Amino acid sequence: MQKPEIKFWLFDLLNDNIKYMECKKIENLKSCPCTYPDCSRKGICCECLRHHLNFKELPACYFSEEAEKTYDRSFEKFIKEFVSENKPKA
């Protein structure tokens, strides 16, 4: 099965721009919702995003607090949560 083009576009965008970005780790740590105890990438958003995309996942900041604590960072989990949060109210 062929991989979606959007994934490669995201990786290319990250790799092309990462060298021009100044890391604001201290600022990022203030709002980083990651609860994984031994995460070495907390506050280093570009490394975190690259790590999770390599595993076909999204980082904690894409999920609700409740969903993040499950450590299920899959695209499927993101879509399910997004759809359930955005259902029209009857």
Residue 36 near residue 19 (C-beta atoms within 8 A): no
Give mean pLDDT, residues 61-71: 90
Say what the pLDDT of residue 9 is: 45
Residues linked to residue 50 through DSSP beta bridges, in sequence order: none
pLDDT digits (tens, 9 = 90+) for 17-63: 544 557 889 999 999 999 988 999 999 998 999 999 999 999 999 99
Say what the pLDDT of residue 82 is: 84
Q: Which long-range contacts (CB under 8 A, 24 or more apart) does 10-19 make?
A: 10/53, 11/50, 11/53, 14/46, 14/49, 14/50, 14/53, 18/46
Higher-confidence residue of 53 and 16: namely: 53
Residue 21 near residue 50 (C-beta atoms within 8 A): no
The yes-or-no verdict on residue 69 having pLDDT over 60 is: yes
The yes-or-no verdict on residue 80 having pLDDT over 60 is: yes
The secondary element (H helix, E strand) that includes residue 1 is none
SS3 assignment, position 15? helix
This prediction has a pTM of 0.66
Domain ranges of the chain: 5-85
